[in-house]
Amino acid sequence: MKLNKQVNKMTGETLLSGVHSSGLGIYIIPKKDYSSSYAIFGTRYGSVDSKFIVPGESEVTEVPDGIAHYLEHKMFDQPDGSNVFDKFSKYGGNANAFTSFNQTAYLFSATANIKENLAALLDYVQSPYFTPESVQKEQGIIGQEIRMYDDNGGWQVFFDFLSCLYHNNPVKKEIAGTVESISHITAELLYKCYNTFYNLSNMAIVVVGNVDPDEILATIEAGIKKNEPFEEEIKKIYPDEPETIAVPYMEKNLSVAQPLFMLGFKDNDTGYGGERLLKKSIEMSILLKMLFGKSSPVYKKLYEEGLISASFAPDYTMQPSYAFSSIEGESRDPKRVYEIILNEIERVRRDGLDEDAFNRIKKVVWGNYIRTQNDVEEYATTFMQLKFMDIDYFDYYDVYKTVTFEDVKKRFDAHFRKELSALSVVNPV
């Protein structure tokens, strides 16, 4: 196959991309003079995708919570009993994998033997091997992992925050599921999910680093096993979600040094991807830095009153099916932090946003985009995450330059509403 060449005129970066006859999306970003390379092989399948209709079928399939994460674990079992990590170690590769709300990904980084590591990655992700015995054994291992997170303050404050925002959306459920839910996972269900979501037409591979694109493409083509692409998309089914939040406040006690908090706002402007979603994310990045960044008045007030530490961090999380802003940190008085932030939002609503701050912060956001391209791991991971939302990372500047002060003002008015806000706190025992 022949890849299309795209050059980003603003950054000088080159992207070679195409869709293989199997349906696999292939994206190669060569970076000369870099010492390391990074490859990520992912599928549009995460913890929220527990109810779906397989292309060609009419019946709805519903599987236990946590099965996407469980499947990721089981992919490291090989039919010949070999250890996947030994293969990567042989070629100097550092391999790993992760499951998030909306994707599962397998990856490696290496400074040499890129072709050999890439061939190993393609091989094991396309070689599922599940037996009733091995599936049952894994339940104990993952059960221990789930129980470990029960005592993790940062994990608990995050999922309590999501439970405050959402009534029904499965994003509120823990990625690994529960000890009860994983007890219902079988080898047959794992194969069903694998054959559905690991169809290459639902997957993509991104390679970033000091590589020869022709060699990488040849390695990928040679490593693709027979796969019939779906002629239609997998239909994912999510429950209806009210626009209101579920509850405004949640707290629990754990062994933490001082109270942890996460507060934020539910975003009901959802149901789309592509450039429109990218533009919204840029608007929100600018707003969060204007309102709560280290140069903002509210940050200075909170810091001078000793209410926050360096862990104070605003963020925006988006997907076509859900989105929310959040601020996390440590504080001796999380409720006071929440009160000050809500008061600041009302002040800005009354007095208006600062256009000079907008112009300054917009440049900062562009600089952050440029910096991500210096880290091959962050570059490849972000590129894939956005691609799965139908966003072309190379189009960033074309969308970025359309963002105006008026756009940001409208986004502020729509998003930062007290009735859509919530606070989650984990207090010391």
CATH topology of domain 4-236: Cytochrome Bc1 Complex; Chain A, domain 1 (3.30.830)
As a whole number of angstroms, the distance between CA 403 and CA 286 comes to 10
Question: Is pLDDT above 90 for 294?
Answer: yes
Q: Of 427, 369, 425, nearest to 396 (Cα)?
A: 369
CATH topology of domain 249-428: Cytochrome Bc1 Complex; Chain A, domain 1 (3.30.830)
What is the pLDDT at residue 296?
A: 95
In this prediction, residue 82 has a pLDDT band, given cuts at 50, 70 and 90, of: confident
* Mean pLDDT confidence for 325-349: 97
As a whole number of angstroms, the distance between CA 203 and CA 42 comes to 6
Q: Pairing relation of β-strands 94-99 and 51-53?
A: unpaired
- The distance from CA 88 to its chain's CA centroid, rounded to whole angstroms, is 25
3-class secondary structure, 294: coil
As a whole number of angstroms, the distance between CA 142 and CA 135 comes to 10
E strand or H helix at 105: strand 104-110
As a whole number of angstroms, the distance between CA 394 and CA 372 comes to 12
**Is residue 44 within 8 Å of 227, Cβ to Cβ?**
no
pTM of the model: 0.95
In this prediction, residue 175 has a pLDDT band, given cuts at 50, 70 and 90, of: very high
For the chain, the domains span 4-236, 249-428
Question: Is pLDDT above 90 for 79?
Answer: no
- Structure tokens, 364: 């900062």
Residue pLDDT, tens place only, 29-54: 999 989 999 999 999 999 999 999 99
What is the pLDDT at residue 138?
A: 92
Question: Is pLDDT above 90 for 80?
Answer: no
Integer CA distances (angstroms), 393 to 29, 84, 389, 426, in order? 12, 31, 11, 36
Q: Pairing relation of β-strands 104-110 and 94-99?
A: antiparallel
How many Cα atoms within 13 Å fall on the side-chain side of residue 97?
23
Mean pLDDT score across all residues of the chain: 96
Question: Is pLDDT above 90 for 78?
Answer: no
Integer CA distances (angstroms), 75 to 20, 121, 135, 337, in order? 23, 11, 11, 44
What is the pLDDT at residue 119?
A: 97
Same topology, domains 4-236 and 249-428? Answer is yes
- Structure tokens, 87: 């293969």
Residue pLDDT, tens place only, 412-422: 999 999 999 99
In this prediction, residue 225 has a pLDDT band, given cuts at 50, 70 and 90, of: very high
**Residue spans of alpha helices (H) in 169-227:** 179-182, 187-197, 213-223
Phi then psi for residue 234, to 5 deg, are: -70, 130
Integer CA distances (angstroms), 266 to 280, 336, 353, in order? 14, 20, 21
Phi then psi for residue 200, to 5 deg, are: -60, -20
**Is residue 229 within 8 Å of 200, Cβ to Cβ?**
yes
Residue type at 322 in one-letter notation: Y
User: How many residues does the structure list for the chain?
Assistant: 429
Active site residues: 72
Question: Is pLDDT above 90 for 227?
Answer: no
E strand or H helix at 317: strand 313-319
Question: Is pLDDT above 90 for 261?
Answer: yes
Question: Is pLDDT above 90 for 407?
Answer: yes
